[in-house]
Structure 1
Amino acid sequence: MKSMKQPCVYLLASRRNGTLYIGVTSDLLRRVQMETAIAREKALKEWKRSWKIELIEAGNPRWVDLFPGLA
């Protein structure tokens, strides 16, 4: 029998006096990971194009397509 996860209400803070997140989830760890990813996405969208290129080239200097390795 598949175990059912207990839904919970969460309230997360990015830091003191920072952004507050509230929601409902049955997988709190996954949700925290999503909140972290969303915050990172928002931050990166504010970066200059040149900073984004530097970030890419630091981890993937030849601009290899990484998608095939995910499947």
Structure 2
Amino acid sequence: MANRKNGAIYTGSTSKLVQRVYQHREMLVEGFTKTHGCVLLVWFEAHEDLQEARRRELQIKRWKRSWKVRMVEETNPDWRDLWVEIQG
């Protein structure tokens, strides 16, 4: 989640992506995303196993910011909101 291109970036994991993104977009979740206005889904990864997803989340959280920005821009150079694409 991000608040704008090259802005604040939030990394998390969930078993219900659509529901969780909705909560962030509507600012229903206290914490970093609400404080920083991170309402744009700019990147995501799907995993079969929630533990695997959690390990990946923790790995990415340890990354330098420049690595996270590069990861987003490799697949979403304009930082467009992917919310429309994940809705059923």
Length-normalised TM-score, structure 1:
0.53
Which structure shows the bigger proportion of residues in strand conformation? 1
Give the equivalent residue in structure 2 for 1:49: 65
Residue 68 (1) aligns with residue 68 (2): no
Task: Please tell me the residue identity of whatever aligns with 1:55.
Answer: M
Runs of 4+ in 1 over 4 A off after TM superposition: none
Length-normalised TM-score, structure 2:
0.43
Larger Rg: 1
Structure 1 gap ranges (5+) = 1-31
| Greater RCO, 1 or 2 (C-alpha within 8 Å, sep 6+) | 2
Residue 63 of structure 2 aligns to a residue whose secondary structure is coil
Identity of aligned residues (%): 40
Superposed CA RMSD: 1.1
Deviation at 1:48, TM superposition (A): 0.7
Structure 2 gap ranges (5+) = 1-47
> How many residues are matched?
40
Q: 1:67 and 1:54 mapped to 2: Cα distance?
A: 20
Deviation at 1:38, TM superposition (A): 0.3
